[in-house]
Amino acid sequence: MLRSGLIATKIGNSSYYNEDGTSTHVTVLKVDDCIVSDVKTQEKNGYNAVQLASIDTEKDISHLNKPQRKIFSSANIKPKKILKEFKVDSDNLLEPGTKLNVNHFKVDQFVDASGFSIGKGFAGVMKRHNFGGLRASHGVSISHRSHGSTGQNQDPGRVFKGKKMAGRMGNKKVTKQNLKIISIDESNNLLVIKGSVPGKKNSIILLKDSVKKSSWRKKF
């Protein structure tokens, strides 16, 4: 059963103290009101999905392009900074203008969190792929941290795609699965999730019902 997720902002990491005094590493996420801005249907678009708009922006609707103006004017909502689609089943389609908040999830439910990892810039293979490097002994000259040979002989005479080499590290979309919701603060629109989620502070995080913990999805 597929249903809509939520758009959240990462506030930061903290410690959550349980009733027995033990502490748990958690991530705090803030969920502004997610408003349904558009609905995709199988008959019209070829798939079922719900488009959510979140996070207020100072831009006036006259400063947006025509497709964006049509989305917000049709749903009769103010312009938002983030627009994201979530594929859903036909039974879970929502009407434009519907608001979703932290009550969309429940305590002890498992979710999947998607975001862009922190960018590390250009990195070598020892940092990027955990290579061991060459020997730190005589005979190895200024190549202690290099990756060594990358190709073959005359045949095939090229480097295969996907070869682990130096390059840009981080700043890629990452999804962490099976994260447990420890607590929900309805008054401040906060979700407290066990563990870490990708991205830096104030980055956008997409939350969805856990795919692998399907038994939990049936309960909510």
Residue ranges per structural domain of the chain:
6-120+173-219, 121-169
pTM for the structure as a whole: 0.86
Please report, as a single letter, which amino acid is at residue 59: K
Token pair recorded at residue 50: 């719900």
- CA distances to 37, 38, 62, 82, 142 from 73, rounded to whole Å, are 9, 11, 11, 16, 62
**Yes or no: domain 6-120+173-219 corresponds to CATH 3.30.1490.20:** no
Amino acid at site 27? T
Please choose, from the candidates 111, 112, 80, the residue with its C-alpha nearest in 3D space to the C-alpha of residue 97.
80
Express each pLDDT in 105-139 by its tens digit.
Answer: 999 999 999 999 999 999 999 999 999 999 999 99
Residues linked to residue 43 through DSSP beta bridges, in sequence order: none
Distance CA 82, CA 56 (A): 9
User: What pLDDT digit, counting tens, does each position of 20-72 carry?
Assistant: 999 999 999 999 889 999 999 999 999 999 999 998 888 777 788 888 888 88
